[in-house]
Structure formats: C-alpha cells, structure tokens
A and B are shown apart, each in its own frame.
Chain A
Amino acid sequence: MNCTETTTRLHQYLDSDLADQAQFEEHISHCDSCQAELNAIREWRRALAELPVEPARAGFEQRVLGEVHRHYPERHHHGFVTGFATAVAASLMLWLSSLMFFQQDISDASVVMLTVNQERTVRLMIEAVGDLDQVTLSLNLPEHVELAGYPGESRLNWQTRLQKGQNILTLPFLAVDQGQGEMIARVNYGDKSKTFRILMKTTDDGAMDYVIQPVPLV
C-alpha cells in the first residue's frame, strides 16, 4: 500500500471499517507523514466529538411546554363524567362496599364483557362510615389493561377524600391486548388498608370479562 492509497483510507481505519487493515497498518508503521496525517485526523475527530453543548437556559422545559399549552388551550370539561361521555357501551355498577371500620360487605361476583381497544366504564362504589380526608386510592393493573388517559401505566395512585356514605369511583378501562390478570384496587387511610382484587380476562373473541373476587380485610 502506498501513501496515496493509505491517505484515502484514514477515516475508514478510524471507523474500524477497513477490509485491508493489515496492509494499512504495515504502511503506517514505517511512514511518518501518513502517521502524522492519521494523528491529525484522530485529533480533530476527537475534538469534534467533544464539542461542548451550552446547557439550555433555566426553565427551558417549563417555557417550551408552556408555549405549547398556550398554542393549544385545554378544552373545558364539566367534571370527569363528561370526559367519559364518549366511552362505548354501558357501565357496570360494582358494589365494592368498603367500610374503613368494622364492616365489610363484598358484592357477589359479576361478569362484564369488554372489547379489546374499546373503552368500558366501570364504577366502583366505596362506602365510608364517616367523612375521611387524605385517603389514598391505588390501582395495580394487569398487563393487558390500561386506564384510558394513562397509556402504559400499570400503577396509579391518587389522594382524595371520602364522604360519609356511598362514593363512586368511575374508571374507564381499556383492554389493549388479550390476556388475563388481576386488577388490585387498594384504599388506604392512615394505617388502615382495604384491598380488592378484580380478575380481568379477555375472552377468545377479544372481549374482556372481569369477575370480582371477595377478599378478606387487610
């Protein structure tokens, strides 16, 4: 290999993309000018890779997202119920009576057909013996189920308050795939906790059933 051939291969060599690497290295080992050229290229490529990036100005993320929000102002909803107005099919009332103190009353198992990729509204009823502040609700969803509006999230938590009597939690479920698994709903208040497990499964034709399993007090 001569100098002309070598100098046309300098970048390929640095890219480790040279078929005749042995001949290249053989020439480089006894040619000072080609070695110098290789070193120079290695140096400026290294400097190029190390070119600094000025950090974004403070508040960059907030600023750009703020501009997007101004560009696309949020449509106003009349509460979350309106948001579910477009959900397909009927909702099912599941009577999950959860009393934080003393009482427990789980409804009989119920079955609902849900269709893959079609939202279905499920309402859970939670009964409290008194007004309760700072109640935490959490949901652990099975793999094939999502909550509409929360794509890809399998664990969700909210802080809320319960009123004395019956409280309705409306959940828009979406089966994104066929499968079977448990949804675990947990209600926490202070050091007290109540867990409900709902078995959700997709039938052969893609519809999803769910069955409430009674569980003991946690």
Chain B
Amino acid sequence: MTLSNLWPFQRSEQQRFDALVRPHLQRLYRLAYRLTSSRYDAEDLVQDVLIKLYPRLKELAAVDNPVSWMSRVLLNQYIDDYRRRQRSPLASIEDESRFYQLAENPRPQPHEVAEREYSAQRLQSALQSLNMEQRMVILLHDVEGYSLEEIRQMQDVPLGTLKSRLSRARSKLQKRLKKMEPSSTVQREIG
C-alpha cells in the first residue's frame, strides 16, 4: 500500500491567504491611493494591512464580505499612520508649506481665466486643507461613491457625525477652491 503524494496541492497557509486577498488588492490599492495620493505610500499601506491581517486568516475566511473588513483595517491603519506623522513637527510643516505655496500661486492657465476649472492638482491641494476626518469622508463619499451608511460601518462612526463632517468638508473645500481661483474670474452678480 502506498501513501503516495496524490495530494501535492494541499494549500499552505500562504496560498490560502493569497487566494483570499488577491481578488481585492486592486480595490484596496485604489482606496489607499485616495487617502495617500501616492503610489508608493498606497502600496506600503496595503502591504501593512496585509501583514496585519495574515495572522487572522481564519476570521477573514469566515466573513461574508472580506473586502469590507479589509477596507476598515486599511482606514484605521491610515488614521494611525497619519496621527503618528502629525506628531512629528517636521512632517506637518512640510505639508502646510506645500499647500500654501500652491494656494497662493495657482498659476492659472489661459483657458482657466474666463471660467472656473477644477484641475486635479487644484482639487488635490484643496483636499489637503481639510483635516483628516473631513478628507476621509469626502474621499470615501464624494470621490469613491460609498454611501454614508457604508462609511459608518467601515469607520464605526455615527451617521450624524459623518453627515456633519461631510457638510463641513464640502463647505471648506468650496471656500478653498474659490480662494485658489485667479482674481480675474467671473464676478458674481447678486440678484
């Protein structure tokens, strides 16, 4: 009787983990990119999340919607990283100076003079003016299209809090975008 290697493909833990997370990596990357605005930082963030999730493979395999859970872990990881960076005075100085440089010298292109135009660069700069909570809710809701209920589940934050954050974020964003407009833009007529 031969106990042959008829079973060469018993999946290792690594293979099981890979099979579970691989279908969702691009979606996680997209979310990470929205938060970090950098390919490198987004990749690092996804990697950190996977390293955190690996020991919880059994739990991950048991949930109905693993991408929702992974997204939640990613958001929390981003928040932790962000707060850690904020505690470093050097990092916050760099962020602020980058914003003001862009806001005060928007260098409008000729075709932007006569009408408002919201370039990606201008929008990204304006987004940086928001605090982390405001930026996250507007990125998740207005950019990525998650409903407030979905965001509530991802972040475990009350719906009312999210609504007011979104409202304040939009208001602040609007003001920043107006401030960044070239001075020769259309004058508003008060009717």
Query: Which A residues have a C-beta under 8 Å from some C-beta of B?
Result: 3, 11, 31-34, 36, 40-41, 43-45, 47-49, 51-57, 60-61, 63-65, 67-69, 71-72, 74-75, 79-81, 83, 125-126, 137, 149-152, 158, 160, 162-163, 165-171
Assess the B42–A56 pair: CB atoms within 8 A.
Answer: yes
Contacting residue for A169 out of B7, B16, B118, CB 8 A = B7
What are the interface flags for B136-174 relative to A under an 8 Å C-beta threshold, 1 for contact and 0 otherwise? 001000110100000000000000000000010010011
CB-defined contacts of A68 to chain B, threshold 8 Å: 14, 17, 47, 50-51, 54
In this complex, what residue of B is CB-closest to A70? B51
What are the interface flags for B179-191 relative to A under an 8 Å C-beta threshold, 1 for contact and 0 otherwise? 0000000101111
CB-defined contacts of A71 to chain B, threshold 8 Å: 51, 54
Contacting residue for B188 out of A33, A48, A167, CB 8 A = A33
> Shortest 5 CB-CB distances between A and B: which pairs?
A47-B118, A44-B118, A64-B47, A80-B7, A169-B6
Say yes or no: A33-B191 contact (C-beta < 8 A), given A41-B174, A54-B39, A64-B25: yes
Query: Which B residues have a C-beta under 8 Å from some C-beta of A?
Result: 1-14, 16-18, 21-22, 25-26, 29-30, 33-34, 39, 42-43, 46-47, 50-51, 54-55, 61-62, 116, 118-120, 123-124, 138, 142-143, 145, 167, 170, 173-174, 177, 186, 188-191
CB-defined contacts of A125 to chain B, threshold 8 Å: 1
Say yes or no: A158-B9 contact (C-beta < 8 A), given A56-B42, A151-B61: yes
CB-defined contacts of B174 to chain A, threshold 8 Å: 41, 44
CB-defined contacts of B190 to chain A, threshold 8 Å: 3, 33
CB-defined contacts of A44 to chain B, threshold 8 Å: 116, 118, 123, 173-174, 177
In this complex, what residue of A is CB-closest to B49? A64
A65 vs B46: C-alpha distance when bound (angstroms): 10
A163 vs B14: C-alpha distance when bound (angstroms): 30
Q: Give the Cβ gap from B16 to chain A, nearest Cβ, in Å.
A: 7
A37 vs B25: C-alpha distance when bound (angstroms): 39
Q: Give the Cβ gap from A146 to chain B, nearest Cβ, in Å.
A: 10
Assess the B123–A160 pair: CB atoms within 8 A.
Answer: no
CB-defined contacts of B14 to chain A, threshold 8 Å: 68-69, 72, 74
Say yes or no: A74-B12 contact (C-beta < 8 A), given A33-B190, A44-B174: yes
